[in-house]
């Protein structure tokens, strides 16, 4: 068995910042500390901090008045900030700077009279936060059918924004559909999809022709991890999305495959190395050069 480690892979700058911030607060201030939603979408990281006494909450009603609260990397709406102030919470904001940029773009567009079409997944923490900035002026679309059903004419001022963790290829296709339907639509100079997400997808696309199987280390709650596995599938390469080495379905391997291992932007590198160690132990795998 040959193992090809994709480059780049794993933690992006925003995730590193959020995880290090929470680690620092725990060390300096102790627990309990509350985090609004998962700090990042990775089961292992969430369990690591939960075992240290961090409490992850889905509503601020679960946070005592005056307690310490961290906002996750995915961003929050102004309404959540307001509630935190009303409850006199000591807040630490770990929002990814790229997500903050999308929030500010939404506000700027609406202030200039635009209605916004947001390409993203309903219910995702990041999308919920962006919609909360301008709830009366934003429409979410997930596919071409929803774009075709939008109730706008060609004279209305429209702008598009995108969730940062989407499939690059799919998102560009939806942007093109928007531009055909609404020639007047405007958007950021480049897609809001973050460079880390794009570069990891590019690596999978580049190396898929060389391998038989792709293992993506990442949680199913992680949008960008799921996109990596989907990309391999679309290129005709079997993929497995695993939270940890223990989830690798060893019975699906013969021992003679070429295997690419990559990781979503919220998956730590030591999870990747445990996968490598397991394949070496089970199949005598060796690392191949890209």
C-alpha–C-alpha distance, residues 285 and 259, integer Å: 9
Q: How far is CA 35 from the centre of its chain?
A: 17
Catalytic residue among 7, 28, 126, 281: 126
Q: Sheet with 115-119: list strands edge to edge.
A: 138-141, 115-119, 158-162
Catalytic site includes residue 170:
no
Could you give phi then psi for residue 218, rounded to 5 degrees? 170, 160
C-alpha–C-alpha distance, residues 268 and 273, integer Å: 9
- Residue 95 contacts by C-beta under 8 Å, 6 or more apart in sequence? 71, 72, 73, 74, 75, 76
Q: Please identify every residue annotated as catalytic.
A: 126
């Amino acid at each position: 068995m040959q193992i090809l480690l994709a480059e780049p892979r794993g933690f992006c700058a925003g995730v590193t910042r959020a995880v290090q911030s929470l680690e620092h607060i725990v060390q300096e201030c102790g627990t309990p500390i509350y985090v609004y939603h998962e700090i990042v979408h990775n089961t292992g990281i969430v369990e690591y901090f939960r075992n240290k006494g961090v409490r992850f909450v889905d509503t601020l009603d679960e946070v005592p008045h005056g307690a310490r609260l961290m906002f996750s990397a995915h961003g929050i709406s102004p309404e959540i900030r307001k509630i935190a102030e009303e409850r006199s919470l000591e807040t630490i904001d770990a929002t990814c700077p790229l997500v903050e940029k999308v929030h500010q773009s939404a506000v700027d567009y609406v202030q200039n009279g635009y209605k916004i079409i947001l390409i993203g997944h309903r219910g995702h923490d990041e999308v919920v936060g962006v919609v909360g900035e301008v709830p009366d002026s934003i429409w979410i679309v997930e596919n071409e059918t929803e774009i075709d059903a939008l109730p706008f004419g060609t004279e209305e001022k429209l702008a598009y924004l995108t969730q940062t963790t989407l499939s690059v290829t799919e998102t560009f296709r939806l942007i093109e559909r928007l531009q055909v339907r609404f020639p007047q639509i405007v958007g950021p100079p480049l897609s809001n999809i973050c460079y880390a997400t794009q570069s990891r997808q590019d690596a999978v696309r580049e190396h898929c022709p060389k391998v038989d199987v792709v293992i993506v280390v990442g949680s199913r709650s992680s949008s960008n991890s799921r996109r990596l596995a989907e990309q391999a599938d679309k290129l005709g390469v079997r993929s497995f999305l695993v939270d940890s080495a223990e989830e690798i379905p060893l019975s699906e391997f013969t021992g003679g495959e070429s295997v690419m291992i990559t990781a979503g932007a919220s998956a730590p590198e030591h999870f990747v190395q445990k996968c490598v160690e397991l394949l070496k132990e089970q199949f005598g795998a060796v690392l191949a050069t890209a």
